[in-house]
A and B are shown apart, each in its own frame.
Chain A
Amino acid sequence: MKLGRRTFTAGLAASLASAGLGLGARPAAAQPYRGPNVIIIRFGGGVRRRETIDRTHTFAPFLRHELTKKGILIPDMRIASLQGVETSHAEGTLNILAGRYLAYRNLGTGFPAQHLEPTAPTLFEYLRKAYRIPAHRALLINGEDRPQEEFFTFGVHRHYGIAYRSETLSLYRFKLHKFRRQLERGEGTDEELAEAQKQLSELLKHDHRKLGPRQTPPVEAFWSRWQRYFGKSGFVNPRGDRLLTELAIRALKELRPRLMMVNYQDPDYVHWGNPSHYTRAIAVIDQELRRLVNAVELDEEYRDQTVFVIVPDCGRDSNPLMEVPYQHHFNSRSAHEIWALIFGPGIARGKTLDKVKDQTAIAATVGAIMGFRARGAEGDVLEDIFV
Chain B
Amino acid sequence: MQIKLNLYTTLILDYAVIKMAKIFSKASESDVTRAIVSQFASDMCEFTEVDVAIIGAGPSGLQAASDLAKDGIKTLVIERNNYLGGGFWIGGFLMNTVTLRDPSQKILDEIGVPYKEYVKGLYITPGPHACSKLIASACDNGVKFLNMAKFDDIVLREKNRVSGVVINWTPVSALPREITCVDPVALEAKVVIDASGHDAVVVKKLEERGLIKTPGFGAMWVEKSEDAVVEHTGEAYPGLIVTGMAVSTTYGLPRMGPTFGSMLLSGRKGAEIAKKLIRKYK
A, B: real partners: no
Using CB atoms and an 8 Å cutoff, list the residues of chain A in contact with chain B.
none
Using CB atoms and an 8 Å cutoff, list the residues of chain B in contact with chain A.
none
